[in-house]
């Protein structure tokens, strides 16, 4: 009887792992670990990073993002323009080729939050809605991390 209780506890623990991994699925799209960096209270902007993996056979496109945590949210890309780092909006969205993934990460493609409604404090979470051309819309939870890189 004792072994059955231990086995049951282990199985329930394994079932909880996907929730701990901070991972979302929308059709054939997998969204991994949405996170944002903690920012000082006086900052009015921030960024969100995550991994997108299109495991399907058809291309998709991340078209738009939104969150109640900011007045606006846009898809952006950092570019090196002759030695000067510049940021530009991606109004056409982010292409997700079939069978491939993309990481939205510091220094590259990211989600820009402008007009924050509250400071980004480590340990907090906030909702973010992602809208895709084919897969539709999904709400995810962004974890605010301390420091440079998160722990998945």
Residue 8 domain flag: no
pLDDT, tens digit, 9 for 90 and up, residues 30-68:
999 999 999 999 999 999 999 999 999 999 999 999 999
Is 146 a member of any domain? no
Report yes or no on 148 lying in a domain: no
* Residue that the structure tokens 């049951």 belong to: 8
Confidence of residue 1 (pLDDT cuts 50, 70, 90): low
Count how many residues are written for the chain: 152
Q: Which domain holds residue 36?
A: 23-65+72-123
Q: How many structural domains does the chain have?
A: 1
Residue 149 within a domain: no
| CA-CA-CA-CA dihedral for 31, 33, 38, 39, to nearest 10 | -20
């Amino acid at each position: 009887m004792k072994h059955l209780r231990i086995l049951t506890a282990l199985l329930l623990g394994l079932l909880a792992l996907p929730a701990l991994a901070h991972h979302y699925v929308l059709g054939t799209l997998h969204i991994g670990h949405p996170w944002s960096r903690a920012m000082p209270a006086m900052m009015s902007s921030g960024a969100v990073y995550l991994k997108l993996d299109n495991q399907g056979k058809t291309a998709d496109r991340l078209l738009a993002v939104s969150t109640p945590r900011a007045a606006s949210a846009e898809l952006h890309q950092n570019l090196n323009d002759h030695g000067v780092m510049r940021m530009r909006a991606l109004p056409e969205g982010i292409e997700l080729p079939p069978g491939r993934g993309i990481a939205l990460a510091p220094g590259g493609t990211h989600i820009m939050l402008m007009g924050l409604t509250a400071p980004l404090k480590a340990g907090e979470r906030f909702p973010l809605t992602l809208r895709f051309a084919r897969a539709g819309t999904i709400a995810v939870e962004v974890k605010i991390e301390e420091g440079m890189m998160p722990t998945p």
